[in-house]
């Protein structure tokens, strides 16, 4: 029995060692850098400062602005993706002619690289020659106005990521026993009752899985917004990831930039922990 218990670890040890090298060590090094005053533009040698970088972070208005932008982006984009993804999944649940082709069309935005999608939407958002203003018959400065820029990034993210949510929810719908729907039809249950009493409760674990992936991914958003606006105008679209990038690779403040990176990791860990807790409660 002892040999049987030890055997899985023999197979998992190489993968665990590799993950430790490529994940745990860099993370520990970033945490250590966050406790130092280290900058390539500062002639003074690096020195240990303890929690000074985190005290600076707590008083940094730019950090709180980036956190607010990130939270808004996550809340709006993930909510819209869930609603639209669920609508697509329910529409594609039943077989009909052309469903396979429709699958391909829906998944196409998700297959396009994010940088390519962002550049394409940047052209669409052009105030003078963009197709979006042409269709709307308006002159909206989507990426140049602080009031519209972040919402434009949300629109682009919803277009790209909704297919991913729909794909996960379609898989969840296919796992629901059809006998439940047949029994509900015999009892004369309405579509709304079936959705509320059968579909959504049984789909809840997959909904949480989709929310987990999309919330974490949206919280770490970088490439889409960086290509669209670079964090502007007036830092109105600057997220935590973009702010961290600017501190590390533009300002070359490795100490404070590492503190920002640790804060992003801590937020993602808290989000993942909350979703895993809810998922365990549902599955119990």
Q: What is the 3-class SS of the chain, one letter each residue? A: CHHHHHHHHHHHHHHHHHHHHHHHHHHHHHHHHCCEECECCCCCCCEECCCHHHHHHHCCHHHHHHHHHHHHHHHHHHHHHHHHHHHHHHHCCCCCCCHHHHHHHHHHHHHCCHHHHHHHHHHHCCCCCCHHHHHHCCCCCCCCCHHHHHHHHHHHHHHHHHHHHHHHHHHHHHCCCHHHHHHHHHCCCCHHHHHHHHHHHHHHHHHHHHHHHHHHHHHCCCHHHHHHCCCCCCCCCCCHHHHHHHHHHCCCEHHHHHHHHHHHHHHHHHHHHHHHHHHHHHHC
Does residue 6 belong to any structural domain of this protein? no
Domain that holds residue 125: 59-283
**22 within domain boundaries:** no
Residue 3 lies in a domain: no
- The answer as to whether 107 is a domain residue is yes
Which residues of the chain, if any, have pLDDT below 50? none
pLDDT for position 273? 93
The whole-model pTM stands at 0.90
In a domain, 188, yes or no: yes
> Which pLDDT belongs to residue 211?
94
* Inside any domain, residue 214: yes
Structurally, the chain folds into a number of domains equal to: 1
Q: What is the CATH number of the domain that holds 269?
A: 1.10.3720.10
Q: Per the domain annotation, does 165 fall within a domain?
A: yes
Residue 19 lies in a domain: no
């Amino acid at each position: 029995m002892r040999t049987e218990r030890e055997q899985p670890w023999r197979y998992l040890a190489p993968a665990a060692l590799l993950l430790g090298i490529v994940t745990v060590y860099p993370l520990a090094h970033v945490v250590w850098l966050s406790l130092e005053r280290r900058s390539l533009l500062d002639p003074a040698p690096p020195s240990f400062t303890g929690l000074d970088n985190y005290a600076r972070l707590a008083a940094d208005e730019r950090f709180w602005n980036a956190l607010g932008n990130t939270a808004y982006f996550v809340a709006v984009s993930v909510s819209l993706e869930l609603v639209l993804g669920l609508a697509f999944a329910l529409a594609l649940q039943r077989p009909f002619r052309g469903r396979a082709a429709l699958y391909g069309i829906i998944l196409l935005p998700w297959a396009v690289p994010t940088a390519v999608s962002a550049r394409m939407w940047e052209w669409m958002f052009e105030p003078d020659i963009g197709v979006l203003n042409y269709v709307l018959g308006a002159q909206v400065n989507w990426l140049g106005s602080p009031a519209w820029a972040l919402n434009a990034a949300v629109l682009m993210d919803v277009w790209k990521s909704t297919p991913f949510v729909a794909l996960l929810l379609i898989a969840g719908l296919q796992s629901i026993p059809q006998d439940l729907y047949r029994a509900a039809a015999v009892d004369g249950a309405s579509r709304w009752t079936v959705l509320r009493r059968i579909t959504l409760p049984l789909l809840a674990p997959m909904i949480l899985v989709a929310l987990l992936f999309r919330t974490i991914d949206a919280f770490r958003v970088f490439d889409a917004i960086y290509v669209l606006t670079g964090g502007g105008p007036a830092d109105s679209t600057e997220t935590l990831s973009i702010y961290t990038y600017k501190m590390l690779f533009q300002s070359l403040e490795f100490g404070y930039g590492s503190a920002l990176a640790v804060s992003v990791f801590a937020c993602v860990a808290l989000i993942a922990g909350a979703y895993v807790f809810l998922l365990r409660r549902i599955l119990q």
